[in-house]
C-alpha cells in the first residue's frame, strides 16, 4: 500500500534541498516572497537551513497591516471622534499611527471594535442602528472580495467603508524599480493567486522579465517553488510559473475577480515604508460612493510623513533587510512593546521572527 503524502516529509524535503543545491548559482541570489504566511512556513519550519549559502529568501511587503499608512489609521480615528464606531481587524489596533494608535484612541473614548470579518461589522451596524459604523477595510486581493461582497449586498445605511485595500502585483513591480533591492525572483503568494491566477501578475511584471513562481504554504510547497525559481534563473527563462496547481489556475477565481471589478477601481496608493505605488490601491467606484466613509465623514486625505526613529521597517518591507538587521529587534522592540508596524502584524516579518526564534526544523 502506498504511503500517504506528507507536505512536511523530511525525506522529500531533503530531496528538494538536493535539487536546490544543484540548481543554485555560485554567486549570491536573493529571492523575495510577499506574504506573511510564506514567512511563517519558512521560519517555523527552519526552511532557510535547506538552502545553500548563496540563496537568500526575504519577506517584502507581505503584511497588509504593516503597509497600511499611518494616515489611514489617523483617518479612522478621526471618524471615531465624529461619533462612528470603527470596526477593524485586531492586528490593526496596536499599529503605531501618526501620533496615536487605534488602541490608544480607544483608551481615550473612541469606540473601536475588533472584528474578524466585514460581516461582523454589518451585524454591529444592524444591532446599533442608527449609530454610524465604519468598516476599516485593509488587506490584499484575498480579503478585498469580502469587502466587495458586502458592498453589493445592500448593507445597512449606517455602514460605510474606509478602504485601504491594496494590490500585490504593482508592489512587486515597484520594488524592482527601487535602488539596492537586487531581487532575482519572486515567490508569489498562493492565496492571492487563487484569486488572481497566474495571469494576474503578467501585466504588472511584464517589463521586468523576472522569474515568478506561485507557491503554496506547506514546507514542501515552498521548497518546490524555490527549486522552480532557481531553475528559471539557471535557464534564463523568466516567466510566471505555477508551483501550486492544486489550488491555483491560470485565470484565478472569475467570480471574485468580477466582484472586485464591479465594486472597486484601481488608484495610486500609499504603502507605509515604501511610498506611493501607481495603480496599487482599490477604491470604491462612483456607483458605490454612498458607502465611502471618507465622503460621509468629510475627513480630508492626510499627508503620511511618519518616520519611527531607529526602526528599519521600510528596509524590511522592501526586502533590503531582515528583522535581525534592526538594532531594536528583540531589545527595545518586541510584540509586547512594538516600535514599528512589522512587530505588530501577525504577518509582519519582525513579529514572525520573534515568535519562531526557536525554529522547529523538519
Ligand atoms: S524590529 Fe521593530 S523597530 Fe526594528 S524594523 Fe522591526 S518593527 Fe521596526
Name residues contacting ligand 1 (CB within 6 A).
311-313, 316, 323, 326, 328-329, 333, 339-340, 342-343, 350
Evaluate the CA torsion angle 22, 222, 53, 59 in order and state its sign. Answer: positive
Do the bridges between strand 29-33 and strand 55-59 make them parallel or antiparallel, or are there none, so unpaired?
parallel
Q: Which atom of ligand 1 is nearest to the CA of 344?
A: 7
Which mutation among 311, 321, 330, 346 tests ligand 1's pocket best, with the greatest number of atoms within 8 A of CB? 311
| Structural domain includes residue 80 | yes
Do 111 and 154 fall into the same domain?
yes
Which mutation among 342, 345, 351 tests ligand 1's pocket best, with the greatest number of atoms within 8 A of CB? 342
Do 161 and 86 fall into the same domain?
yes
Domain that holds residue 279: 1-312
Which mutation among 350, 352, 354, 355 tests ligand 1's pocket best, with the greatest number of atoms within 8 A of CB? 350
In contact, 108 and 81? CB cutoff 8 Å: no
Supply 87's cell numbers: 470596526
Do 298 and 327 fall into the same domain?
no
Do 32 and 15 fall into the same domain?
yes
Residue 266 has a CB neighbour count (10 Å cut-off) of 15
Tell me, in angstroms, the distance from the centre of ligand 1 to residue 323's CA.
Answer: 7
pLDDT in tens, 35-57: 999 999 999 999 998 899 999 99
Spatial CB neighbours of 209, under 8 Å, sequence gap ≥ 6: 238
User: Is the per-residue pLDDT at 326 higher than 70?
Assistant: yes
Number of structural domains, the chain?
2
CA 324, CA 210: separation in Å to the nearest integer? 27
CA 181, CA 203: separation in Å to the nearest integer? 21
Measured by CA distance, the residue closest to atom 1 of ligand 1 is 329
Do 301 and 248 fall into the same domain?
yes
Do 297 and 324 fall into the same domain?
no
CA 282, CA 164: separation in Å to the nearest integer? 7
CA 193, CA 201: separation in Å to the nearest integer? 9
Q: What pLDDT was estimated at residue 361?
A: 46
Do 178 and 292 fall into the same domain?
yes
> Cα–Cα–Cα angle for 251, 254, 258, nearest 5°?
130
Nearest to 146 by CA among 121, 126, 129: 121
Q: What is the CATH number of the domain that holds 62?
A: 3.40.50.11740
Do 350 and 202 fall into the same domain?
no
- What percentage of the chain exceeds 90 in pLDDT? 88
Q: What pLDDT was estimated at residue 289?
A: 94
Do 44 and 179 fall into the same domain?
yes
pLDDT in tens, 122-172: 999 999 999 999 999 999 999 999 999 999 999 999 999 999 999 999 999
User: Is the per-residue pLDDT at 358 higher than 80?
Assistant: no
pLDDT in tens, 87-104: 999 889 999 999 899 999
| Structural domain includes residue 233 | yes
Do 14 and 113 fall into the same domain?
yes
Do 97 and 230 fall into the same domain?
yes
Do 133 and 214 fall into the same domain?
yes
| Structural domain includes residue 361 | no
Q: Which residue has the higher pLDDT, 160 or 300?
A: 160
Of 312, 328, 344, the residue at which a domain comes to its end is 312
Amino acid at each position: 500500500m502506498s504511503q500517504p503524502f506528507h507536505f512536511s516529509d523530511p525525506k522529500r524535503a531533503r530531496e528538494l534541498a538536493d535539487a536546490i543545491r544543484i540548481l543554485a548559482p555560485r554567486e549570491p541570489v536573493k529571492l523575495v516572497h510577499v506574504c506573511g504566511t510564506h514567512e511563517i512556513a519558512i521560519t517555523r519550519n527552519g526552511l532557510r537551513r535547506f538552502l545553500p549559502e548563496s540563496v537568500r529568501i526575504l519577506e517584502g511587503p507581505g503584511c497588509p497591516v504593516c503597509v497600511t499608512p499611518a494616515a489611514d489609521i489617523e483617518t479612522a480615528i478621526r471618524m471615531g471622534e465624529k461619533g462612528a464606531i470603527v470596526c477593524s481587524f485586531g492586528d490593526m489596533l496596536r499599529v503605531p499611527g501618526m501620533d496615536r494608535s487605534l488602541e490608544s484612541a480607544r483608551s481615550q473614548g473612541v469606540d473601536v471594535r475588533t472584528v474578524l470579518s466585514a460581516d461582523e461589522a454589518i451585524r454591529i451596524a444592524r444591532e446599533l442602528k442608527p449609530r454610524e459604523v465604519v468598516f476599516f477595510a485593509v488587506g490584499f486581493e484575498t480579503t478585498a472580495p469580502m469587502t466587495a461582497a458586502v458592498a453589493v449586498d445592500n448593507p445597512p445605511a449606517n455602514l460605510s467603508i474606509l478602504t485601504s485595500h491594496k494590490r500585490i502585483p504593482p508592489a512587486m513591480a515597484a520594488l524592482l524599480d527601487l535602488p539596492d533591492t537586487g531581487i532575482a525572483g519572486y515567490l508569489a503568494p498562493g492565496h492571492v493567486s487563487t484569486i488572481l491566477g497566474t495571469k494576474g501578475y503578467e501585466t504588472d511584471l511584464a517589463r521586468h522579465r523576472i522569474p515568478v513562481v506561485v507557491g503554496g504554504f506547506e514546507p514542501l510547497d515552498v521548497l518546490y517553488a524555490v527549486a522552480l525559481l532557481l531553475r528559471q534563473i539557471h535557464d534564463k527563462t523568466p516567466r510566471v510559473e505555477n508551483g501550486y496547481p492544486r489550488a491555483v489556475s491560470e485565470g484565478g477565481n472569475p467570480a471574485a475577480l468580477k466582484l472586485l471589478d464591479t465594486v472597486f477601481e484601481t488608484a495610486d496608493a500609499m504603502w507605509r515604508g515604501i511610498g506611493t505605488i501607481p495603480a496599487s490601491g482599490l477604491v470604491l467606484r462612483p456607483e458605490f460612493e454612498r458607502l465611502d466613509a471618507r465622503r460621509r465623514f468629510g475627513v480630508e486625505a492626510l499627508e503620511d510623513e511618519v518616520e519611527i526613529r531607529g526602526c528599519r521597517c521600510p528596509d524590511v518591507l522592501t526586502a533590503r533587510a531582515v528583522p535581525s538587521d534592526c538594532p531594536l529587534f528583540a531589545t527595545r522592540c518586541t510584540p509586547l512593546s512594538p516600535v514599528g508596524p512589522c512587530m505588530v502584524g501577525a504577518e509582519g516579518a519582525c513579529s514572525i521572527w520573534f515568535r519562531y526564534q526557536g525554529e522547529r526544523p523538519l
